[in-house]
Amino acid sequence: MSASNLQQRHRTGRVWLVVFQVALLTGIVALTALLFNILNGSFGYVAIEDTIAPQDLAVNGVPLEEQDKDTLIQVLQAHISAGLFARYEFDKPFAERSAGEVYDLILERVVEPKFVAQWSLYETLTNRDAIRQTAAQDFPNARLEFRSWLNSHFLRAPQSSYPEIAGVRTAVLGSLWTIGIAVLFAFPVGVAAAVYLQEYAPDNLINRIIQTNITNLAGVPSIIYGILGLAIFVRALGHFTSGVAFGASDPTTSNGRTILSAGLTLGMLVLPLIIINAQEAIKAVPSSLRQASFGLGATRWETVWHHVLPNAISGIMTGTILAISRAIGETAPLVVIGASTFIQVDPEGPFSNFTTLPIQIYQWTARPQSVFRNLAGGASLVLLGLLLTLNATAIILRNRYRRSL
């Protein structure tokens, strides 16, 4: 090979190195765009029109936010009809409501803010003057406000068809309930299956089938689990999952589309992941420990319970948390089994109808009005925050309980 050829080859090498770096960069750019896009929808200017401006409601010159509860109740009573006031009293007596709750009611019923236009974070930052002009021209009665769509009201308030007062409280609670049931079901079963496969199973046909089956189950699309959940938990076992069999719900109105069905479906979905992760953790326990235990006369179960599991538990927990973070973001199977309705009240137990955070994001994103996209952005932030917390817990657990073996 001649020298010029060598130079040519090195040049090609450099060109391709740039190509490889660009590919890597594209992935990182995509991630940045994804995160930016969520922030872009979660913050920004909003033009709000009030029926009654909050400053007009100030009593004796003290702004509404700083009033005590009794004054707030008086303000509310003065501005809404007696019938409506009586209905609120009936729903939950005012004596039991906090000042914050009464303030929310005043906002909802008296101030009645209406979002007439909203801008993304990017527009807000780069185009401030133009937005002010447009807002002043098109909506002379509106006030322009920088809004964080993720705020304390958003976390506290239930779902609503009015974007001004909608929140994610019911959805977050629904997510926690379903995940809780999924873990209660899948964790013991999954760890037991992993212990069986790792510590007991002789290498025979049935155990090989079980192992192959678990690997393949992990690759089944989540929506298939939704269809299975619909057929089994919602329909076939509807008598139990609706709570009718336990006398917990009214047979005429309840159906199987409950938190229990959703939790069990998610449990089936994460079961193979938990088994595979737990198997890895158990595999990592050195066999010298087992042999020492057997040598001292311990039975197989004593060995597993006193030596293998305590040493594998941090790995098992980490794997389980990773499986949970997969489950908490799952939407499709829950849409299939939930036919999710519009739910405004907190779930009361496993037999309640449900909505979850991802379902909420899906429904808001699918709405044609752009204002709901902002809500979806805020809800996405909540979901990502939840996932971040879970993963951080997994890492801390791993570091804390990692034993040198």
Partner 1 sequence: MAPTRTSDHVSLKRKPRLRELVIQSLLFVCGLLSIFVTAGIIYELGKESLLFFGRTQWQLTNKPIVADIAPADTRIEVGPIGTPLREGDTLRLDQEVLHLIAIEDSIYVVERGVQDTAPASHAAGAVLHKGVDPSLAEFFTGTTWAPHAGQFGVLPLLNATLMVSGIAILVALPLGLATAIYLSEYASPRARNTLKPILEILAGVPTVVYGYFALTFMTPLLRTIFGQNVVQIYNTASAGIVIGILILPLVSTISEDALNAVPRSLREAAYGLGATRLETAVRIVLPAAFSGIAAAAILAISRAVGETMVVALAAGAGPAFTFNPFQAAETMTGHIVRISGGDLSYDSLDYNSIFAIGLMLFVMTLALNIFSQYIVRRFREVYE
Restricted to residues 17-36, the positions that interact with partner 1 (CB under 8 A) are 17, 19-24, 26-28, 30-31, 33-34
Q: Is 216 in the site for partner 1 (CB under 8 A)?
A: yes
Question: Quick check: 316 binds partner 1 (CB under 8 A)?
Answer: no
**Whose Cβ is closer to partner 1: residue 103's or residue 119's?**
119
Residue nearer to partner 1 on the CB measure, 151 or 216 = 216
Stretch that binds partner 1, among 5-13, 51-59, 129-137, 313-321 (CB under 8 A): 5-13
Residue 152: CB minimum distance to partner 1, A: 22
Choice from 336, 343, 371, 382 touching partner 1 (CB under 8 A): 336
CB 353 within 8 A of CB 339: no
Which 355-394 positions form the footprint of partner 1 (CB under 8 A)? 358, 361-362, 365-366, 373, 376-377, 380, 383-384, 387, 391
In the bound state with partner 1, the residue whose beta carbon lies nearer, of 227 and 248, is 227
Taking the chain, what is the end-to-end CA distance rounded to the nearest angstrom?
Answer: 54
294 lines the binding site for partner 1 (CB under 8 A): no
Nearer to partner 1, 176 or 223 (CB): 223
209 forms beta bridges with: none
231-250 residues in contact with partner 1 (CB under 8 A) are 231-232, 235
- The answer to whether residues 109 and 72 touch, using CB atoms and an 8 Å cutoff, is no
Instruction: Name the one range near partner 1 by CB under 8 A: 86-94, 128-136, 268-276, 342-350.
Output: 268-276
The answer to the question of residue 122 lying near partner 1 (CB under 8 A) is: no
Residue number with CB closer to partner 1 (113 or 358): 358
Kindly state whether residue 7 participates in binding partner 1, applying the rule CB under 8 A.
no
Residue 275 has which token pair?
């088994």
Residue with tokens 């752009």: 370
The region of 90-98, 204-212, 239-247, 307-315 touching partner 1 under the rule CB under 8 A is 204-212
Q: What is the DSSP letter of 329?
A: T
Q: Quick one: which of 59, 60, 52, 151 has its CA closest to 108?
A: 52
Cβ-contact 243, 249 below 8 angstroms? yes
Single out the segment in contact with partner 1 by CB under 8 A; choices: 77-85, 94-102, 103-111, 266-274: 266-274
Please report whether residue 332 would count as binding partner 1 according to CB under 8 A.
Answer: yes
C-alpha 199/C-alpha 352 separation (Å) is 40
Please enumerate in sequence order all residues whose Cβ is within 8 A of that of 298, keeping only pairs 6 or more positions apart, or say none: 306, 307
Helices (H), 43-81: 69-79
Q: Does 340 bind partner 1 (CB under 8 A)?
A: yes
Residue number, 110 or 193, with CB nearest to partner 1: 193
Shortest approach of partner 1 to residue 61 CB, angstroms? Answer: 44
Answer yes or no whether residue 306 interacts with partner 1 by CB under 8 A. Answer: no
396 binds partner 1 (CB under 8 A): no
CA 87 remoteness from chain centre: 33
Q: Please give the biggest Cα pair distance in the chain.
A: 97
For residue 299, give Cα distances in angstroms to 146, 214, 256, 292, 308: 67, 28, 44, 12, 12
Nearest distance from C-beta of residue 277 to partner 1, angstroms: 14
Nearer to partner 1, 182 or 230 (CB): 230
CA-to-CA separations, 174 to 109, 111, 215, 403, in angstroms, rounded: 27, 30, 30, 36
Instruction: For residues 94 and 282, give the distance between their C-alpha atoms in angstroms, rounded to a whole number.
Output: 56
The angle at the Cα of 172, spanning 170 to 178, to the nearest 5 degrees, equals 100
Q: Is 317 a residue that touches partner 1 (CB under 8 A)?
A: no
Phi, psi at 76, each rounded to 5°: -60, -45
Site for partner 1 in 128-187 (CB under 8 A): none
C-beta of 67 vs 293, nearer to partner 1? 293
Order across the sheet with 43-49: list the strands: 114-118, 43-49, 143-148
Minimum CB distance to partner 1, residue 213 (Å):
5
Any idea of the CA torsion for 311, 315, 317, 322, to the nearest 10 degrees? 180
247, two tokens: 């006398």
The beta-strand segments (E) located in 198-324 are none
User: Closest distance between partner 1 and the C-beta of residue 51, in Å?
Assistant: 30
In terms of CB distance, is 49 or 280 closer to partner 1? 280
Contact between 214 and partner 1 (CB under 8 A)?
yes
Residue 313 interacting with partner 1 (CB under 8 A): no
